Structure 1
């Protein structure tokens, strides 16, 4: 029972937060995995499975209803995003925490979406809830690069305290290479990590106009 009329009814119920109507449709066999057309809070037309509408509007009870009816915690939509990814993108920290508590696994895509949306608290929570360095065990260079890209100040400090050598990223002229952690910290504007690098021997500064490295006149 998923006719166009029923899809319209489901979209209306999800947007309006009508949990009783959603439950009635589900009770009568509505296929909640079929994407339906709806308009978000800004009036933009979207097409997603109903659970993503509930996430977008922050209807946590409705989100839980779809999960209870069989939507997988790590199930993806046609764009390969999970409900958790979507919640992070919309910046809903309480819903993000709830989904993680229910067993949803934070992903790099979700972390990137939350960061893109400027949701600092969500980003911090997801970073604490996921293994950023999975499959990188023993590769300190890749770990340092990822820690710098993600803004993981604690991991950067940890590596430096263990004796990580920043000089390995210098070229024959003594300048840090363009793909070094120092360059990544500069490009992402992470001044806290740049400060830590400087405290641990970094002796260059960057030209903000052309992203070239120049010798620090004060060193």
Structure 2
């Protein structure tokens, strides 16, 4: 095992030297005023996003130039250094920006380290921004840590300028944070923070319970379950769908414990899983899947939960469903696959995940349109390039 680790380390160092030399680089990454030379084979090997970009006849693949508008030059330089060396850069003040970039390019190990760094630097002023970051980029440990921090500080965070700024710039994410504050995941651990200092005894973010796994939450309250057992079968089903739509996972747990049918449907034959997928409630989706929900259930238009998540652009939910063996190429009544929906609505990340799991980009709907043609009709240029 030690020998294997040695070979891996040597490989990383060798790639790092290749980056410094710049020899044979065939791709230029442009982030603002910063231009970085890289080898497309290395980028594709490390990042599924770059792999999807370069394995097709995209503009980036043909021109050898990748324009990056949402990552600053210095941050992109750190991302590139990590891709070549697999060594985490000095994070100091860039952890949040690097986390977002790591999520964008599918670098989970780097993202995890950034999560821990941001959680360790929580203060009353930056906690709102950290919570928003965690929700936007599906960071369960950081979400749990930020929610625990806000509650541990008697909600003082809500009176800061940081909270006010977050409310103006990211209202939807902050609404989700507020919901978690009202009904937080159980067993959340509070990390050591910059305000508490090194002498304060605290558990690390790694010990926090991920909000996307219902297996780490407490059992449903017995009294609540007893109360719900008296409801009719139809009423239990109606409430199950309603709570799934709102992402109220604890209520879902109680209803299912009280005998609600996980396959209950509404008037359009939509299940609780379809509603949770449409709304992007990752924790609810996870629990419903664990409870036996049909991942390929069809509504009245033959859309599945995967169609719903792809249409709404919830890439993390798309990944959850694919890992639960959802059919990436299943068709609705119009012949749309989930990739057709993602292409039509302009959801690049959802489309990337679908392609990663084998979605057919040449599939045609009932009018003969491929996903790429729908992307072109709706002027989603990045998707047109991805699907070429």
TM-score, with structure 1 as normaliser: 0.52
Conserved? CA contact 1:58–1:95, under 8 Å: yes
Conserved? CA contact 2:339–2:371, under 8 Å: no
Partner of 1:17: 247
Which among 332, 337, 349 is matched to residue 109 of structure 1?
Answer: 337
Deviation (angstroms), 1:131: 5.1
Q: Distance in 2 between matches of 1:52 and 1:115?
A: 20
Q: CA offsets per residue over residues 51-77 of structure 1, 9 Å max, x none?
A: 112112221121122212212333333
Conserved? CA contact 2:245–2:272, under 8 Å: no
Change (3 A) 1:19 1:128: closer
Which among 35, 38, 45 is matched to residue 265 of structure 2?
Answer: 35
Partner of 1:84: 306
SS at match of 1:75: coil
Deviation (angstroms), 1:88: 0.3
Q: Distance in 1 between matches of 2:346 and 2:232?
A: 37
Mapped pair 1:97 → 2:328:
no
Aligned residues: 142
Partner of 2:297: 75
Q: Distance in 1 between matches of 2:248 and 2:380?
A: 43
Conserved? CA contact 2:344–2:371, under 8 Å: no
Consecutive unaligned residues of structure 1, counting only runs of 5 or more, are 38-45, 137-141, 152-183, 195-219
Change (3 A) 1:4 1:124: same
Partner of 1:63: 285
Q: Distance in 1 between matches of 2:294 and 2:241?
A: 20
Change (3 A) 1:52 1:73: closer
Conserved? CA contact 2:244–2:275, under 8 Å: yes
SS at match of 1:116: helix
Change (3 A) 1:32 1:2: farther
Q: Distance in 2 between matches of 1:84 and 1:30?
A: 23
Aligned-residue Cα RMSD (Å) equals 3.6
Change (3 A) 1:48 1:149: closer
Conserved? CA contact 2:285–2:317, under 8 Å: no
Q: CA offsets per residue over residues 106-138 of structure 1, 9 Å max, x none?
A: 12611111112221222233234225289x9xx
SS at match of 1:48: coil
Partner of 2:347: 119
Q: Distance in 2 between matches of 1:109 and 1:149?
A: 10
SS at match of 2:337: helix
Partner of 2:56: none
SS at match of 1:125: helix
Q: Distance in 1 between matches of 2:255 and 2:351?
A: 35
Change (3 A) 1:31 1:122: same
Q: Distance in 2 between matches of 1:15 and 1:133?
A: 30
Q: Distance in 2 between matches of 1:56 and 1:190?
A: 21
TM-score, with structure 2 as normaliser: 0.31
Mapped pair 1:53 → 2:283:
no
Change (3 A) 1:133 1:59: closer
Deviation (angstroms), 1:18: 1.9
Q: Distance in 1 between matches of 2:370 and 2:246?
A: 39
Conserved? CA contact 2:307–2:337, under 8 Å: yes
